[in-house]
Chain A
Amino acid sequence: DVKVTQSSRYLVKRTGEKVFLECVQDMDHENMFWYRQDPGLGLRLIYFSYDVKMKEKGDIPEGYSVSREKKERFSLILESASTNQTSMYLCASSLSTAGGFRNTEAFFGQGTRLTVV
C-alpha cells in the first residue's frame, strides 16, 4: 500500500514563527501536493510539485513556500505564521499523468492540524 507520512499530527506555533511541515511518500510517486482543509471550503490546493525541484502554485499560495529536494519528500513552509493559517494541512501524492497514467488517484497523509496562537 502507498504510504504518505506527515511528520506531525498536531502543532501549536506562535504568530510570526517559521513553520515547517514535512511529508514523505514511499511509492516513488512523481506528483506531490499540499492542501489546506477548512470547514465548508473543502480542500484547497496550496502548492503542487511534479518532480524534484519543480513546483507550481495552487489556488492559495500566499504566505507559503515549498521545497522538494528529494523525490520522496515535500515540505511546506509558513514563512511567518499568522492566525489565519490555523487549519488542517493535508499532503498527498500520485503517479505522474504523463505516459497515459492520467487516471491515477491521489493518496493522502493523515493530516497535520496546525494552530497558530
Chain B
Amino acid sequence: AQSVAQPEDQVNVAEGNPLTVKCTYSVSGNPYLFWYVQYPNRGLQFLLKYITGDNLVKGSYGFEAEFNKSQTSFHLKKPSALVSDSALYFCAVREASGSARQLTFGSGTQLTVLP
C-alpha cells in the first residue's frame, strides 16, 4: 500500500527566512507527487507536481520542491517566506501506473510565518 508522511505537524519560520516543509512517500512503482496549500476554511489549491524529468520542480507563489528518489522524499521549499504563506500544506502521491482514485494525502503541516 502506498503512503505519505509529513513528519512535522507544525513549522514556524520568521518572515524572510527560507522555509522547508518535509514529505516522504512510499509507493511500489514510480511516483507522481503533488503539493497543495489550504488557507483557512477554504479548499485545497494546487502548488506543484513532480511527474518526471528535472528533480527540482518550480510552482506557484515562488515555491519549489526537490524530488529525491533514493530518500523517497519530496520536500517543499521557498527561499524567503512571507506572512501570507501561513497555511496548511498537504503532500500527496500516486503511483504512475495507478488510477486517479489512488491519490494518497499526508496528514498536513501547518506553516506559520512570523512577522
Contact = CB atoms under 8 A, between A and B. Distances in A.
Most buried by A among B44, B45, B99: B44
A41 B46 contact: no
Interface residues of B, number: 24
A11 B108 CA distance: 24
A42 B43 contact: no
A107 B105 contact: no
B43 A103 contact: no
A111 B100 CA distance: 20
Interface stretch (A43-51, A69-77, A79-87): A43-51
Contacts of B36: 108
A106 B101 CA distance: 10
B56 interface: no
B51 A103 contact: yes
Interface string B20-50: 0000000000001010100001111110010
Interface string B89-115: 010000011011101011110000000
Interface of B: 4, 9, 32, 34, 36, 41-46, 49, 51, 90, 96-97, 99-101, 103, 105-108
